């Protein structure tokens, strides 16, 4: 019997926005994932110096963003884990806790290109399938160039389809083209600081929650950046 494949969409979600949700939907549909779980990072290791909203608020915003979306949920596993939220540890923990499921880690093209800087980033394919969606104008050509240069480190082998590479243990790394939405969390934060509207960039429930806690949000996104 084929084991279900669960999409894991990790990130800081500072804040979660419509681009996150849309990308997750398109990857889930393209790869026939059984479900998708957003996993907000409690202590994102790559965001040192960047003002980040408190974890409970980011968690609540993710729940609001996915409310009513069948098959999508928020996984709170990072809440009580000590130390930085390394993807390697997250995927390993999921594999141990849920041996009857397979997992597919969803990441943007920018994340793929930065994997060499992640903790054991080039070995994530030993723990889960990987699905890469286009971001910031980076597409299949960049995907192919990166994999060609890093194939040995990732133990990846090309297939007849340039969008699919084989990984250890029968897993796959797949490029998934998605509709481009020029939305970013950094732009939303900049607009918020300037008093500009963020309508249409985040879901209405997310926007309402941000505005309900406007003072805390403004304080969170205005913390001094350490030198």
What CATH number is attached to the domain comprising 106? Answer: 3.40.50.620
Q: Highest-confidence range of 25-29, 43-47, 221-225, by mean pLDDT? A: 25-29
Rounded mean pLDDT, 179-208: 94
The pLDDT of residue 227: 38
Residue 113 has pLDDT above 80, yes or no: yes
Asked if residue 227 is part of any domain, the answer here is no
- pLDDT at res. 81: 80
Q: Tell me what the mean pLDDT of segment 26-37 comes to.
A: 97
Tokens found for residue 118: 């992640």
Residue numbers of the domain that contains 213 = 5-220
Q: Is the pLDDT of residue 48 over 70?
A: no
pLDDT score recorded for residue 171 = 97
> For residue 226, is it within any domain?
no
Residue 225 falls inside a structural domain: no
Q: Please give the mean pLDDT across all residues of the chain.
A: 92
Per-residue pLDDT of 81-99, as tens digits, reads: 877 889 999 999 999 999 9
Is the pLDDT score of 63 beyond 80?
Answer: yes
pLDDT in the model for residue 83: 76
Q: Is residue 178 within 8 Å of residue 26, measured between CB atoms?
A: yes
Q: Evaluate whether residue 151 is within a structural domain.
A: yes
**What's the number of domains the chain is made of?**
1
Contact, 63 vs 100, CB < 8 A?
no
CA–CA dist 4, 32 (Å, integer):
10
């Amino acid at each position: 019997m084929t084991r279900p494949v669960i999409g894991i969409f990790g990130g800081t979600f500072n804040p979660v926005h419509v681009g996150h949700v849309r990308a997750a939907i398109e990857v889930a549909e393209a790869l026939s994932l059984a479900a998708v779980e957003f996993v907000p990072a409690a202590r994102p290791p790559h965001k040192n110096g960047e003002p980040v909203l408190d974890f409970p608020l980011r968690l609540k915003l993710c729940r609001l963003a996915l409310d009513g979306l069948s098959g999508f949920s928020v996984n709170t596993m990072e809440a009580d884990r000590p130390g930085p939220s390394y993807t390697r540890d997250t995927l390993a923990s999921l594999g141990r806790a849920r041996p009857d499921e397979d997992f597919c880690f969803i990441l943007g093209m920018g994340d793929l290109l930065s994997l060499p800087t992640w903790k054991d980033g080039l070995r994530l394919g030993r723990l889960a399938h990987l699905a890469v969606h286009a971001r910031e104008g980076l597409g299949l050509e960049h995907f192919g160039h990166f994999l060609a240069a890093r194939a040995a480190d990732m133990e990846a082998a090309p297939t007849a389809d340039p969008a699919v590479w084989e990984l250890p243990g029968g897993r796959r790394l797949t490029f998934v083209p998605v509709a481009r939405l020029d939305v970013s969390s950094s732009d939303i934060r900049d607009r918020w600081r300037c008093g500009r509207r963020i309508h249409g960039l985040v879901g209405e429930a997310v926007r309402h929650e941000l505005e309900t806690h406007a003072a805390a949000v403004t304080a969170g996104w205005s913390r001094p950046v350490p030198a």
